[in-house]
Structures are given as C-alpha cells and as structure tokens.
C-alpha cells in the first residue's frame, strides 16, 4: 500500500469520479508530490485508498496518458512523464508557520477611501442553501437552457469556426454577434444601429465603468437616481467622477432636480432600480430635450426591458433620440444566466471609439468564444424562445408575489410597476428594514434592506426589496408569510 495521504476526493464536486481522480493526480504532479519520472499508485492500491472501482482508476490513468502527463510502463504500472519544470515547493512556508505581514495600504489609503468599503448589495455566497432567498439578479438554475446553449458552444468550437475567436481582437467584436444584435434584439426595441455604434462589453456593469472613465476625462459630474443601483454609483465614483443624486418619484427621475454641471445622467427607465417604476414617454422626451439644451449625455440602462407583464413596453430613449446623446446599455446574460457576463452599449460612433480604447486598456475584449456562442444562441432562435418562457414564468411568480403580499401584508405599500423580477415595498410606522433583514435571515429568509440604495440610508429605513426570479410559487407564498410575521412582530 502506498502512503499518498494527500490524495482525497473532494466532499462536493460536480466532476465525475474519473475526472476527480485525474484532478488529484495532476495536482500531485504539479506540486511535485509525484516528481518527474516517479511511479504512481497502482490501480488496485488507489482504488482501495479512494474507495472507488479499479475500472474508474484505470480510466483516469488512460485519460492522463492521453493528455501527456502519465505514461504506462510494461508490467511496471504508471509513472509521471519526463518534462522540464522547476519546483519551488520545498522553499514555501505553510500559512500556519508564516507570520502575518502588516498591510502596506494604510500608509496611502484610509478606510473611507477603500473600494471595499463602498456600499453595495451583498448576498451570502451560500444563498441557495437558504429556504427562502428573495435575492435579486439570480435565477433558478433549472431554467437555464442547457441543451440549446451546449449546442451553440459545440457549433462555435467547430474547426471551421476557430478563426472567428481564437485570436486577439481588441479592436473588433464578433461580427456574428453584432449582426444578431442589429437584426434581432435592437430591432425588436426599435433601435437602428450600425456596427460602429455597438460595443460588446463584459456585462452591463463593464459598460458603466467605461462610461465613467470617459466622463471623468471630460470633468463633469454624473447624476444618478436616488434610490439607485448601488454598483452604478460605485462605478462612476471609482472611475473618478463627482456623483450627484437626483430624487425619484412615482413617475421616475425628477428632471427638475438634475444639477446644471452634469455631464452624464444615468437612468433605468424600463424598471427603475430598485423601485421598478417606469419612466413615462413624456419624461423620456423631456429628458432628451434637456440633454440637448444643456449638452449632457444620457446613459439608458435598459435592464429587464423585456419583462413587462401588464402593458406595452415604452420605446427606449435611444429610439427616440435624434441628437446622438443617448447611450443605450443592455445585458445579454441577465435573463439567460447572469454569470455569463456579456452586455453591450449602443452610442454615437465617436463615443464607441473612445469606449473601445478604454476597454482595450482594461481587458482587451470579452471572450471570443462566449461572443460566438451567444451569436448562435440568438441567431438560431433560442434566445427568443427562452425569453418567452422566462416571461411566462416570471409573470406567474410576479403575480404570486403580489397576491401573497396583499394577503399577508396589506398594510405595506408596493410600488406599482408593469413587471420585472422584484418588488419594492414600503412598510408603515417605524419599521427598520435592516433589523427586519437580520431577524428574517435567522429564519432562513433573505431580503434586500432599502437603505443600501439611497444616498442617505435613513431615507430607505422602512423599505425593502424582494426578488422572486429564483423561487418557486410555493416558496414565495411561505416566505412572505414568514416576512409578515416578522413585520408584525
């Protein structure tokens, strides 16, 4: 029996047993636990040690032979292939033995200046383990169209398609994806754009940061909604801008409160983040007119535009604008899988040119394979079919959420909206939403407290948000019943 006690299968892994064993052996080789040319455990010995079948171990060794890490020796088992590599593990000191080193940052960075101190919506990493996670920007993994997506990945990885994405393409985006955006998603929303007016980004968040850097170089402040998407406020602040907060009422952004020194106005018109109110056609046109008159830009973050369950969708401001001052930002992944991190912006060619130059410096470009896969996903009709399915499911969950709130918490005010994947709630009296969130978490319920969205957290102390996209209707009903108990308590 061998003594490689470091070989232990992980407790939780999505890999097959064969692949888990491959990972164990390859990690042992990389860390010099199995030096170059050394013998590896026998199939019998390793199978006994790991409590798996000998066939599984044999399959793992065959796979490692195929990739060139291991070789088979006649009647002598397996050994590590010869290859040139330097190992420095002997010189490493374990974390248990090393002494902590003081951070060098306090000499230059105060606690208030730290990016990590910025206010943001935080969900626990194990949110899926909570019985009632009313978290936003997460989806039910079972709804992901895995077969359709896998088919598009397979097509994108054909040998004939490799030239489209294997190289560095900092100055260009996938021609296929640009074409699909032009012909499908943008056309649906009434937006006409040439390829030099579109930039692919690593999610909508990346687009906001690019615009923040560009605006900072122009020296004007950025106006954001209040309450607003915290990560937008953080992106504009971190990119060097003065950020001014503009109140939101029942009709959306209050235009008369926009400061005179503004260079960029950030707005979420389809479903205001987080109140979900829709900006009216009149205010959209008035905001465009104001931008022309005072010569500022508008960033239109049109997230969840397709999730409108009650009435016809308002036309995007980009489709109404003839001046080139509206920058349209969209997400290609939010309703498919937020973890894909793929978005885009549509703007005047001059803005796209400068944003592309900034993007090149930060990250070169979003992964080409991901762009080609998404192009196929849209082009083959999978995106359309998926959005229709999601709209039906989310509408049903939206209606369930509103019905449960009316039954269990009729005294709370719910912001009227036409859809989306969350609701905005204002409780009566002296309720403190941050205390409510703490008590609910102890009972397995996660909510977003309202103060995090406001410039002055005190303004949102009675407010909270419930995201329902990742929940079944049964869970929604039971979770809101528990929320009602705590609110009443």
Region 454-482: mean pLDDT is 94
pLDDT band at 87 (very low <50, low <70, confident <90, very high): low
pLDDT mean over 407-423: 89
Q: What percentage of the chain exceeds 70 in pLDDT?
A: 95
pLDDT at 239 over 90: yes
* 267-324 pLDDT, tens digit each: 999 999 999 999 999 999 999 999 999 999 999 999 887 777 776 778 899 999 999 9
* Domain 17-80: CATH architecture, name and number where available: Orthogonal Bundle (1.10)
Tell me: the pLDDT tens digits for 188-201?
Answer: 889 999 999 999 99
Report the CATH fold assignment for 122-138+386-488: 3.90.1150
> What is the reported pLDDT for 112?
76
Name the band, by pLDDT with cuts 50, 70 and 90, for residue 368. Answer: confident
pLDDT given at position 262? 95
Predicted local distance difference test score (pLDDT) of residue 417: 81
Pairing label, strands 326-331, 343-346: antiparallel
pLDDT of residue 89: 55
pLDDT of 162: 76
Residue 330: pLDDT band (50, 70, 90) is very high
At residue 88, the pLDDT reads 55
Q: Would you state the pLDDT for residue 265?
A: 97
pLDDT of residue 343: 93
pLDDT the model gives residue 193: 93
* Tens of pLDDT, residues 149-181: 999 999 988 877 777 777 777 778 899 999 999
Write down the pLDDT at residue 12. Answer: 81
pLDDT computed for residue 93 by the predictor: 56
- Listed range (4-13, 139-148, 183-192, 354-363) with the worst mean pLDDT: 4-13
Give the per-residue pLDDT at 339.
Answer: 85
**pLDDT tens, residue by residue, 34-48:** 888 888 888 888 888
When pLDDT is averaged across residues 62-90 and rounded to a whole number, the result is 79
Q: Residue 481: phi, psi to the nearest 5?
A: -60, -40
Least reliable range by pLDDT among 106-110, 148-152, 470-474:
106-110
- Each domain of the chain, given as residue ranges in start order, spans 17-80, 122-138+386-488, 145-380
The reported pTM is 0.85
pLDDT above 80: residue 91:
no
Q: What is the pLDDT of residues 417-432, one digit of tens each?
A: 878 889 999 998 888 9
Per-residue pLDDT at 92: 54
pLDDT at 3 over 70: no
- Rounded to the nearest integer, the mean pLDDT of the chain is 88
Mean per-residue pLDDT, 229-244:
94
Task: For residue range 211-233, list pLDDT tens digits in order.
Answer: 999 999 998 999 999 999 999 99
CATH hierarchy code of domain 145-380: 3.40.640.10
């Amino acid at each position: 029996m061998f003594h490689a006690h470091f070989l232990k299968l992980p407790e939780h892994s999505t890999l097959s047993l064969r692949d888990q064993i491959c990972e164990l052996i390859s990690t042992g080789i990389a860390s010099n636990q199995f030096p170059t040319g050394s013998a590896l455990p026998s199939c019998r010995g390793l199978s006994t040690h790991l409590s798996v079948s000998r066939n599984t171990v044999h399959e793992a060794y065959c796979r490692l032979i195929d990739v060139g890490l291991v070789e088979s020796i006649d009647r002598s088992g397996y050994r590590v292939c010869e290859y040139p590599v330097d190992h420095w593990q002997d010189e490493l000191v374990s974390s248990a033995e090393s002494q902590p080193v003081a951070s060098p940052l306090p000499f230059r960075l105060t606690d208030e200046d730290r990016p990590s101190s910025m206010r943001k919506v935080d969900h626990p990493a194990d949110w899926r383990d909570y019985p009632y996670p009313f978290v936003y920007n997460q989806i039910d993994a079972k709804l992901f169209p895995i077969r359709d997506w896998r088919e598009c990945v397979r097509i994108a990885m054909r040998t004939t398609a490799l030239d489209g994405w294997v190289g560095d393409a900092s100055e260009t985006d996938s021609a296929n994806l640009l074409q699909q955006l032009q012909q499908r998603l943008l056309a649906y929303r009434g937006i006409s754009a040439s390829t030099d007016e579109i930039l692919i980004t690593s999610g909508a968040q990346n687009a906001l940061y690019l615009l923040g850097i560009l605006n900072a170089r122009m020296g004007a402040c950025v106006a954001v909604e209040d309450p607003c998407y915290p990560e937008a406020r953080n992106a504009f602040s971190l990119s060097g801008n003065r950020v001014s907060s503009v109140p939101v009422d029942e009709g959306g952004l209050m235009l008369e409160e926009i400061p005179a020194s503004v260079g960029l106005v950030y707005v979420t018109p389809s479903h205001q983040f987080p109140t979900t109110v829709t900006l009216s056609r009149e205010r959209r046109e008035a905001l465009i007119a104001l931008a022309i008159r005072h010569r500022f830009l508008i960033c239109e973050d049109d997230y969840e535009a397709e999730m409108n369950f009650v009435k016809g969708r308002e036309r995007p401001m980009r489709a109404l604008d003839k001046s080139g001052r509206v920058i349209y930002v969209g997400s290609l992944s939010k309703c498919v899988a937020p973890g894909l991190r793929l978005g885009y912006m549509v703007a005047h060619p001059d803005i796209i040119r400068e944003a592309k130059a900034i993007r090149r410096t930060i990250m070169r470009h979003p992964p080409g394979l991901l762009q080609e896969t998404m192009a196929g996903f849209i082009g083959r009709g999978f995106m359309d079919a998926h959005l229709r399915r999601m709209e039906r499911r989310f509408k049903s969950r939206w209606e369930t959420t509103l019905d449960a709130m009316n039954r269990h918490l009729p005294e709370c005010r719910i912001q009227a909206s036409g859809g989306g994947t969350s609701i905005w709630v204002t409780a009566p009296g002296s309720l403190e939403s941050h205390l409510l969130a703490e008590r609910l978490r102890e009972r397995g319920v996660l909510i977003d407290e309202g103060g995090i969205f406001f410039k002055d957290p005190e303004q949102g102390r009675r407010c909270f948000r419930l995201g329902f996209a990742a929940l079944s209707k049964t869970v929604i009903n039971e979770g809101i019943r528990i929320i009602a108990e705590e609110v009443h308590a």
